[in-house]
Each structure stands twice: as structure tokens, then as C-alpha cells.
Amino acid sequence: MRHILISAALLATMGAATSAHDGDAASDADQPTRPELDIGGFIDLNYYASDESRADSSSGFDEGQFVLHFVSVLSKRINFFGEVSLSGTDSEFKTELERAIVKFEASDYYRFSVGRFHTPINWWNTAFHHGQWLQTTVSRPEMTRFGGQFIPVHYVGAIVDGAIPSGAAGLRYAAGVGNGRGENIARGGDDGDVNNNRATFLKVAAKPDRAYGLEVGASLYRDKITVSTLPEEYDEDLVSAYVVWNREDPEIIAEYATIDRKGATTGTEFDHDAWYVQFAYRLPFWGSKLKPYARFEEIDVDLADPVFTAQPNREGYLAGVRIDVSVFAAIKLEYRHQRTNQDPYVDSAYAQVAIAF
């Protein structure tokens, strides 16, 4: 429970960039006289090894991501949030603007935002941002992996969201319009859309008052994909749904997504599915520092789809334990048994130190 509250507080101050207004009665004296900037961050360090026999396989230490979050309250109802990451490559550290959001909060029922987002079409992508300390496991599920192709992880555009008057049902909505997948379909259209068809999405979720930690939701994402090396454009419908019991004892996360992709000229259709289920439980002894977990996942794609040339089929499971050695530092030990397409299963082991600062 303590970890949930701490994570929620960090997300509220760094990730959600909530406004500081206390209601319509606030006077002009409550307005900030100059912009103020709050900065927080995350870093993770990893070690991994596997029994993979490919010539290009490797093992060793890996400096994961160094992430900074920036929050500035500009007025009673307007705030800014930014997220920048530094990720190690073979030759250098790559700097990336992950999110940059300006939000106007008219009321609990209507909030308008523009900028670069983590696309809010499934649960994990907006619950756990960059910063491995936030999540239980060493890494994200394959279907929502940063740099992956299955789900469009980033989204540049405008979003409106808020509460739906529903009493104890706790209904919320989000809808958006923005740039769709880019020439590299793993990226959003950072410098404009690649065609004249904007991507749109609609999401509805419920967090019932009488079932603390429970959240269910579903979304629809629509886009037209244009890649210069392909002979035609493709219409894409992505439907996703999730059920989450977001407690430490237990934590249960289940998500499913399906993509229907159709050639705009030929009408050729391709269907793709992905899912994962994650279980975790924070043990009550030893100061509640231990949290064992397991996850099962699968991505099933039609390999004939020319859009998904770099998205293989994947399946497998992982199991591990998270050890919270202090309030803002965790050690994770993880075993994985996974395979790509019809290749043999690979067994691997990971160790991670993740901190928030």
C-alpha cells in the first residue's frame, strides 16, 4: 500500500502535472507571479545474461535510461509537463523528448491538453512512464514496449478527457486527434503527419468506488498508415481492453489488443493480436520489502503484413522479485523464458537497480 501511495504521489507531481487551483473562488492573488519549475527523475542500471546461441547475442551491464520530469504550474488552470530521457546505445547516449504537454483544466469533467503524449489507448502506457522504478517488473510488456511497433506508444496532437457523471461507477473518458504513425511506424508524427488523415482515439474507463484498486477500460484507435516503400496505404483499427486490480496485495494486470489492418487499394486484410497477464503480491513480512511477480504474454501477428516487417511473433513468461531496499530504491531479480517466431526458447536472467530522485 505504501508503494502505491508513493508512486501515485510521484505521478501526480511529475507525471500528471495536476493543477494547483482550489476552485473557482480563488483570487488573482493566488496566481503565480513567475513560473516555477519542479524537477524529478529516475535511473536504472541492469545486468543480463542468457543461453542464446546467436552470433550477435550478448550479455553484460547496461545503463538503462536516465529520465528527467519537469513540471511548471503556469496559472490556476494551466500547467506544463515535460519528460526527457537519455538512453545508451553502442556508440553514444541518445537524447529524446518523450513527452511535452500543456494542459488546461476547466473542470473535473473537461480537461484539454496539447503536445506529445504516451498514447492513452491501453493501461500500462499511461500508468508506467519512463522510469523503471515506477513499475514492478524489469521492463514493459512486449506489446507496449518503447520502440516497438505493435501499439503506437507516442502521440502528437490534442486530447480532451475528464470524468463522466456516474456516481460510484467512477467513469472517465478520453478522446484525441493527432498525427498517426510515422514513416517509421514505431514513432508518432513528431514533425507532422505523413498523410492528410489524422489518427483519432476514444477511451472509456471505470474505477468503482466500492472496489478500491479496480479499473476496467476499453479504447478504439483509428489511423491511416503511409510508408513510402509500400505500394499502398493501410487503414488501421486498433481495439484494446484491460482489467486491472492495482493493489500491492495483489497486483493483477490483464490487457488485450487487436489490430485490423486493410489495404486501401487492394482491400487485403491482416489481423494481429497481443495480450499479457501479470500477477504480483507484496509479502507482509520483512518490512513488506519483497514483491514476487510473474507475467505471461504473447504477440501473434500475420507475418504477411508488409507494415509489420520488424514486428515478430513473441511468446513466453517471466518471474521475479522486486526488493524495495529503501523508499525510492529497488532491486529486481528476474528470469525469462521466451521465444521469437518459431525459434527455440531462450532462458535469460536480469538484475536491475532502479531509483527515483
How does pLDDT run across 20-36, given as a tens digit for each residue? 333 443 445 566 677 88
- Give the whole-angstrom CA distance, residue 160 versus residue 46: 37
d(CA 117, CA 97): 10
The C-alpha atoms of residue 289 and residue 283 are separated, in whole angstroms, by 7
CA atoms within 13 A on the CB side of 294: 4
Give me the mean pLDDT over the 149-154 stretch: 95
Q: How high is the pLDDT of residue 163? A: 98
Distance CA 152, CA 175 (A): 15
Helical H runs in 92-168? 124-127
pLDDT at residue 25 in the model: 38
Number of residues in the chain: 357
Q: Which residue has the higher pLDDT, 251 or 188?
A: 251
Distance separating alpha carbons of residues 113 and 129, to the nearest angstrom: 17
Q: Which three cell numbers stand for residue 247?
A: 493493489
What pLDDT, on the 0 to 100 scale, is given for residue 18? 41
Give pTM, 2 decimals.
0.89
Question: 236 near 258, Cβ under 8 Å?
Answer: no
> What are the Cα distances from residue 324, in Å, to 61, 253, 330?
21, 20, 4
pLDDT of residue 4: 52
**Structure-block grid coordinates of residue 213:** 484498486
pLDDT the model gives residue 169:
96
What pLDDT, on the 0 to 100 scale, is given for residue 278?
99
Q: Which of 230, 163, 171, 170 is nearest to 195 (CA)?
A: 230
pLDDT band of residue 15 (cuts 50, 70, 90) is very low
Question: 181 vs 1, 35, 128, 156, CA distance in Å?
Answer: 38, 34, 21, 10
Q: Which residues pair with 176 in a beta bridge?
A: 159, 201
Q: How far is CA 8 from CA 42, 91, 127, 322, in A?
A: 15, 36, 10, 18
- Taking the C-alpha atoms of residue 61 and residue 353, their distance in angstroms, rounded to an integer, is 11
Whether residue 239 has pLDDT greater than 90 = yes
CATH class of 2-19+34-356: mainly beta
| Per-residue confidence (pLDDT) for residue 10, from 0 to 100 | 52
Note if the bond before 250 is cis, omega within 30 degrees: yes
pLDDT at residue 170 greater than cutoff 70: yes
**316 Ramachandran zone, left/alpha/beta (phi>0; psi -120 to 50):** left
How far is 268 from 343, CA to CA, in rounded Å? 28
Residue 7 burial (10 A CB sphere; 0-12, 13-18, 19+): buried
The span from the CA of 144 to the CA of 166, in Å, is 30
In angstroms and rounded to an integer, the radius of gyration of the C-alpha atoms of the chain is 21
Express each pLDDT in 71-93 by its tens digit.
Answer: 999 999 999 999 999 998 878 88
Tell me what the mean pLDDT of segment 289-306 comes to. Answer: 97
The x, y and z cell numbers of residue 288, run together, are 513488506
Range of weakest confidence among 41-55, 268-282, 288-302? 41-55
Residue with cell 507531481: 13
Q: What is the sign, positive or negative, of the torsion defined by CA atoms of 328, 354, 12, 83?
A: positive
pLDDT value at 14 more than 60:
no
The span from the CA of 157 to the CA of 178, in Å, is 4
Do residues 108 and 46 lie in contact, with contact meaning Cβ atoms separated by under 8 Å? no
Q: In 93-250, which residue ranges form alpha helices assigned H by DSSP?
A: 124-127
Residue-averaged pLDDT of the chain: 90
pLDDT score of 189: 80
Check residue 334 and give its pLDDT.
Answer: 99
pLDDT in tens, 41-66: 999 999 999 987 765 667 899 889 99
How do residues 111-149 score in pLDDT, each as one tens digit? 999 999 999 999 999 999 999 999 999 999 999 999 899
